[in-house]
Copies of this chain bind each other. A is one copy, B any other.
Amino acid sequence: MAEKITKRSQDYSQWYVDIIMQAQLADYAPVKGCMIIRPNGYAVWEHIQQALDSMFKETGHVNAYFPLFIPESFMNKEKEHVEGFSPECAVVTHGGGKKLEENLYIRPTSETIIWSMYQKWIQSYRDLPILINQWANVVRWEMRTRLFLRTTEFLWQEGHTAHATYDEAEAEAVLILNLYKTFAEEYMALPVIHGKKTDSEKFAGALHTYCIEAMMQDKKALQAGTSHNLGQNFAKAFDVTFQDEKTQLQHVWATSWGVSTRLVGALIMAHSDDNGLVLPPKLAPTQVVIIPIFKDDEEKAKTVEAAQKIKSILKPLGVRIHIDDRDQYRPGWKFNEWEVKGVPIRMELGPKDLAAGQVICARRDKTEKSDKVTMKTDEVTTKIPALLDEIQKNLFDRAKKFRDDNTFFVSDYPQLKKLMEEDGGFAKCFWAGSKEDEAKIKEETKATIRCIPMDQTGEKGKCVLTGKETDVQVIFSKSY
């Protein structure tokens, strides 16, 4: 705990790693590119899982589990898919002491194994739709890794749905896109732009890919979730057909969609400060920590008793609350520890407060002394939940303001280049370029089209590169 956190202004990447290490969110694994998600980090992931899982279930999805291993021959069935994923796969060649007859790929994503089963399960329109989600680990052999954001093995959820028509599949892909946006904004306090990927950036094997994109504090974009309309590509590759109501045989339509432990990285980068982690209350494993302040056993007994009373009132309301009554650390040391760990509210409770029938609350999102809130002990029932809501809202508003302040409309290529070279941020512009144009801009500016936002104004303008008139606006940015 005693080590210092590098300032963001000094070294943003190091700041990110320092926070992860000091808040004990994760650690480097002895296997290249892999990470250990430590209890503090995993608890955040559990809250992400719970919230998303409820949202999936409320919209009719069910969970299942498919194998880790994918036969090599399966990977080869969908051409774009194998080209996209094969180079980054881990391959099992031996099992039970023997060389295998067919190599097994560790799943980088599960479309192929799942569609090989859908082939067996789907015969009639009555079997549709299938709305399955899976929580699992996947492996993609990454050259440059970064804790949470890009690791060789990561945890995620992958939805794989099967539908009778293009329209149904499209509606599902958009439903999930909106669900992801709602989750990011309401739970993660993370404003996102939801939109469509260009063909260069879409998923290997998809008709088209939707995504949510967030701005981190270094003004780079982070793709926080994707939802794909896979068309009939996998149904054709695995020969998955159904008899429609007119007894005609048709290929099934598909979607897939996922978010991963990368979201924990997004949370850290979006909200934290130079003092440590800042967690939005809705996803904070501990929302309130009470620190009884005492000089002797008598004071300890009294303040801890009062703390327990407050806990017994707030816990039934669903507030995740912890009392730190350890003897071996002083209050100042504890304040610092819980600040580094990102707990939204720190409640201080000393003998004087006790006498005055009050508690002092320090907000993690506003750390000036003047931001501290004093409340009567009998008001905690209403004021603590309200304060948690206020912190949640403040984090969102702050992140949104930062993003809006760093989003610029650019009307020509020199402007775009200058922005990417100097300040960075999101560049909004008209776009009518080709795949090759996109590649050229990526090469020259390191920026890519993050998405074609769903919210288009409809107005016309000139393409930032080609000058052709168009009504399509896109977001360019450097990204993770």
Q: Known contacts being A90-B104, A104-B90, is A29 close to B67, with CB within 8 Å?
A: yes
The answer to whether A95 touches B104 (Cβ under 8 A) is no
User: Judging by beta carbons under 8 Å apart, are A39 and B67 in contact?
Assistant: no
Copies of this chain, how many?
2
Instruction: Indicate whether A69 reaches chain B with its CB closer than 8 angstroms.
Output: yes
When distances are taken between beta carbons in the complex, the residues of chain B under 8 Å from A68 are 34, 68, 106, 137, 139, 153
Among A112-120, A307-315, A344-352, A459-467, the stretch in contact with B: A112-120
Q: Is the CB of A96 within 8 A of B88?
A: yes
> Which residues does chain B contribute within 8 Å of A126, judged by CB atoms?
328
State A260–B141 Cα separation when bound (angstroms).
28
Asked whether any CB of chain B lies closer than 8 Å to the CB of A129, the reply is no
Given that A31-B104, A63-B39 are contacting pairs, would A96 and B139 also be in contact in the complex, using a CB cutoff of 8 Å? no
**Does B117 lie within 8 Å of A69, measured CB to CB?**
no
Q: For A106, what are the chain B residues with a Cβ–Cβ distance below 8 Å?
A: 68, 92, 106
B113 touches A67 (CB 8 A): no
Considering the complex, which residues of chain A in the window 77-130 have a beta carbon less than 8 Å from any beta carbon of chain B? Answer: 86-97, 104, 106, 113, 116-117, 120-121, 126
Contacts of A120 in B (CB 8 A): 27
- Cβ-defined contact, A90 with B94, below 8 A: yes
Residues of chain B within 8 A (CB-CB) of A87 are 96-97
- CB-CB under 8 A for A66 and B29, given A87-B96, A92-B91, A92-B106: yes
Contact digits for A148-170, partner B, Cβ 8 Å, 1 yes 0 no:
00001101000000000000000
Q: List residues 158-206 of chain A with CB under 8 A from any CB of chain B.
A: none
Give the distance in Å from the alpha carbon of A312 to the alpha carbon of B342 in the complex. Answer: 40
- Kindly supply a per-residue 1/0 record for chain A positions 46-61, scoring 1 wherever the CB is within 8 Å of any chain B CB and 0 otherwise: 1000000000000000
Nearest CB on B from A330, distance (A): 15
Q: Which residues of A contact B (CB under 8 A)?
A: 27, 29-31, 34-39, 42-43, 45-46, 62-71, 74, 86-97, 104, 106, 113, 116-117, 120-121, 126, 132, 136-137, 139, 141-143, 152-153, 155, 328
Q: Which 8 A-B pairs have the closest CB atoms?
A: A96-B141, A39-B62, A34-B67, A37-B65, A91-B94, A90-B95, A95-B141, A31-B69
